[in-house]
Copies of this chain bind each other. A is one copy, B any other.
Amino acid sequence: MNPSKAGASGVRPPRRTGPDIKAIPFNSSTDGVAVSLLSDAERHQLALIASIAHLKPASVLYEAGDPAEFLYIIIHGAVKTVRRLAGRKRAITAFLFPNDLVGLAAEGRYINTAVALAPLTVYRMPVAGLERVLLRNPELEYHFLCKVCHELREAQRHAISLGRKSAAERIAMLLHMLEHRQPPDMRDGEIALAMSRSDIADYAALSLESVSRTFRALQRGRIIAVRDKRHVRILDRARFEQLASTP
């Protein structure tokens, strides 16, 4: 029970945002939009043990090494999961968005630190209760399984990106992911960046300076336009997609 600064206010289910996917085992759509949305019945089950918490940007959901007492589902906002490396280096293993699962543990402890990137609303579920609920609701558990599979694929994509792609390609892939995962408050086709350049560097395994230079290079190539440090627009869709293409 890590109260932190965010008050866990009552139990109120989030609004329904889309249809379920059930038929295809361990499946998920590529962009994660329609993944792991819960049925009303499933939400009701979770509501029995979950509370809703609101957190301010930069607040910490949990710290690496803490006993893993809660699992979170993002309702609104964005989260980064950070790991400290040797010599004050940091790695961001994932950016997470609405409907994503946060707080997977190993040996009862969190393996990284989760930090809110924006005003955040989450379901907060004690793991002990969650295990009981899952074991009584195989379909709900199946949704969790699908969700974790999706995060696994995302992590593999990330690994390929870091290992085999150039700086420009990594940045393009990140922008591509953000474009597809962030809720459409990007009017006019603009991509809103919830994170700092430094966070981008830690995610893409680049130096801060390289991120900066890469953004500039993409601008000079007329591939993107950077209106403001937090707002990017795609100018040359074809070349952008080619850079961001996963294969």
Question: A residues within 8 Å of B by Cβ?
Answer: 24-30, 68, 71, 83-86, 89, 91, 93-94, 104-108, 111, 127-128, 130-131, 134-139, 141-142, 144-145, 148-153, 155-156, 158-160, 162-164, 204-205, 245, 247
Select from chain B the residue with minimum beta-carbon distance to A156. B93
Distance of A84 from chain B, by nearest CB (Å): 7
Would you give the shortest CB distance from A28 to chain B, in whole angstroms? 6
Is the Cβ of A93 less than 8 Å from the Cβ of B160?
yes
Given pairs A162-B205, A163-B205, 8 additional interface contacts (CB within 8 A): A27-B107, A27-B108, A91-B159, A91-B163, A104-B149, A135-B142, A159-B159, A162-B163
Q: Which residues of B are found within 8 Å of A204, using beta-carbon distances?
A: 163
Cα–Cα distance between A28 and B245 once the two chains are bound (Å): 33
CB distance from A113 to the nearest CB of B (A): 13
Q: Are B104 and A153 in contact (CB under 8 A)?
A: yes
